[in-house]
Amino acid sequence: MADTFSADVLLHLSTSSAAAVDRAARSVVTVHARDRLGASGVLWRDGVVVAASDAVERDEDLAVTLPDGQRLTAALAGRDPTTDVAVLRVESTQGVTVTETGDPAALRPGHFVLAVGRRGDEGAAVVASLGIVATSAGPWRSMRGGAIDRLLRLDLRLDPTAEGGALVDAAGKTMGIVVPGPRRRVLAIPATTIDRVADQLLAKGRIPRGYVGLGMRRVRLDAKSAQSLSPPRRMGVIVLSVDPEGPAARAGLMLGDVLTTWGGSPVADVRDIMERLGPESVGTAVELGVIRAGTPTRASVAIVERPAAA
């Protein structure tokens, strides 16, 4: 009896998993946007494919292969490297099912999930990986400063060609797209983030980011400089380059200056600054705490939109 029950449970799990993959795969396409191998994407809206920005290595000569094997030319509507989202336009997706999204906030650690993609070198072959949600937490900032609505870290093996493919729950709904993260971890960009970013990219072609015109890196302060701060601290951000036409240059910042605060809050890493240069920062001014030649001073910088080439 126990063996029969176990076999029935496994058979049900296997059948349900395959059904969820079949359902999601109707909206998953192959994205031809890099030379070494294909990637995956999801038909997010009619005529709109969402993919991982890092997997879209060129801006032109793009194409997608639909589930029925039809290959279509695609155009890049825009990309946001800070959230790893790229949006492609395709002329005709008639007969292809737009993905059905779910609520990423419903995912909890331990929930079974699937990563569903397509292999570009095998026509319309579906690839799938089964795993669990390892972490499901609140909003976070990527290392590039992008605002992501939910931290979804996954415990599964991601096929390289499935990058940008669908993160699928047990019901077959798409909760986001799967991307490789740091330290070989797999992350998901949640559907709520994709909707927000896609709206902006389709409307403007890019996500505005704040720009101050500085090249920086983390630095350890000498003991005197550290003690001059309130409260004392040992780390800051040193200026390595200054855009002569940028806001920081106009504010008088110089090579060798060490930034210690941003709007009154301590900064100890370049990431601390990048996180503060989101779309909402454009058009605002910020007061920086600076150590110059061992002496604390201040500078007010007007943040502008980051130039496309910067």
Q: Which CATH class is domain 2-204?
A: mainly beta
Q: Which CATH architecture has domain 210-305?
A: Roll (2.30)
Burial class (CB in 10 A: 0-12, 13-18, 19+), 160: middle
Model pTM? Answer: 0.81
**What's the pLDDT at 186?**
97
pLDDT at 3: 61
* Domain layout of the chain by residue ranges: 2-204, 210-305
pLDDT at 121: 55
Vertex 72: Cα angle to 67 and 78 (nearest 5)? 105
Are both 2-204 and 210-305 of the same fold?
no
Report the DSSP beta bridge partners of residue 260. Answer: none
Q: 262, 276 in Cβ contact below 8 A?
A: yes
Quote the pLDDT of residue 7: 76
- Render each residue's pLDDT in the chain as its tens digit; 310 residues: 456 557 788 887 888 889 999 999 999 999 999 988 889 999 999 999 999 999 999 999 999 999 888 889 999 999 999 999 999 999 877 778 999 999 999 999 999 999 999 987 555 689 999 999 999 999 998 888 889 999 999 999 999 999 999 999 998 999 999 999 988 899 999 999 999 999 999 998 988 889 999 999 999 999 988 888 888 889 999 999 999 999 999 999 999 999 999 999 999 999 899 889 988 899 999 999 999 998 999 999 999 998 876 6
Q: Which residues contact 36 (CB under 8 A, 6 or more apart)?
A: none
List the one residue out of 126, 108, 122 whose CA is nearest residue 23. Answer: 126
What is the number of other CB atoms lying within 10 angstroms of the CB of residue 182?
Answer: 8
Output DSSP code: residue 103. -
pLDDT of 1: 47
The one-character DSSP state at 101 is B
CA distance 125 to 120: 8
